[in-house]
Amino acid sequence: MNPAIGIALLLTVLQVSRGQKVTSLTACLVDQSLRLDCRHENTTSVPIQHEFSLTREKKKHVLHGTWGVPEYTYRARTNFTSRYNIKVLYLANFTTKDEGTYTCELRVSGQPTQSSHQNVSVLRDKLVKCEGINLLAQNTSWLLLLLLSLSLLQATDFISL
């Protein structure tokens, strides 16, 4: 094979797998709802498929997704929002019955072999409250620093676009 084509192919593959990598999955509690924040890279224009699932006692339950069929009991309890590089799933009325390993998995459309996922283990007693109100109660200079770094991050985001 022509080495140039080889390199181009390799770059394409790298690009694709980069564009759908899950960078982090975190869980927190808002009122009685579990909130899962699935952060991911977004460097491709290819549509990304996603799936949130819960593995409990070795059994996998699909909560929300674009390829697995969500279980009926969960469908009514979840709401899903998606932004540029984060997917957020709420699971209402979270109880100890919903404890287990939560997974966020991403795939590039039409390439089910290329997937990326992150797990988070969720226990009712260990769950932290979602930030927001907490943050305000803290030192203001700390908050300023955070806002500053956020806007910096955003700026670098724009540059990399």
Ligand X SMILES: *[C@@H]1O[C@H](CO)[C@@H](O)[C@H](O)[C@H]1NC(C)=O
Binding string to ligand X for residues 3 to 22, with x set by CB under 6 A, is what?
--------------------
Minimum distance between the CB of residue 152 and ligand X, rounded to whole angstroms? 19
Ramachandran assignment for 48, one of left (phi > 0), alpha (psi -120 to 50 degrees), beta (any other): beta
DSSP one-letter code for 76: T
Stretch binding ligand X (CB under 6 A), from 21-29, 62-70, 89-97, 124-132: 89-97
By CB atoms closer than 10 A (0-12, 13-18, 19+), residue 14 is exposed
Per-residue binding letters, 31-60, with ligand X (x by CB under 6 A)? --x--------x-----x------x-----
The correct pick among 12, 82, 134, 151 for binding ligand X (CB under 6 A) is: 82
Q: Which of 98, 99, 100, 91 minimizes the C-alpha distance to 34? A: 91
Size of the site for ligand X (CB under 6 A): 20
Residues 120-159 that bind ligand X (CB under 6 A): 139-141
Choices 5-13, 82-90, 121-129, 147-155 (CB under 6 A): range interacting with ligand X: 82-90
Q: 3-state DSSP call for residue 89?
A: strand
User: Which listed residue (28, 30, 120, 127) binds ligand X by CB under 6 A?
Assistant: 30
Cα dihedral 125, 127, 130, 131 sign:
positive
CA 94 to chain centre: 19
Residues 6+ apart with CB under 8 A from 49: 65, 66, 67, 106, 107, 108, 109
Q: Which residues of this protein are in contact with ligand X, per CB under 6 A?
A: 30, 33, 42, 48, 55, 76-77, 79, 81-82, 84, 90, 92-93, 101, 103, 119, 139-141
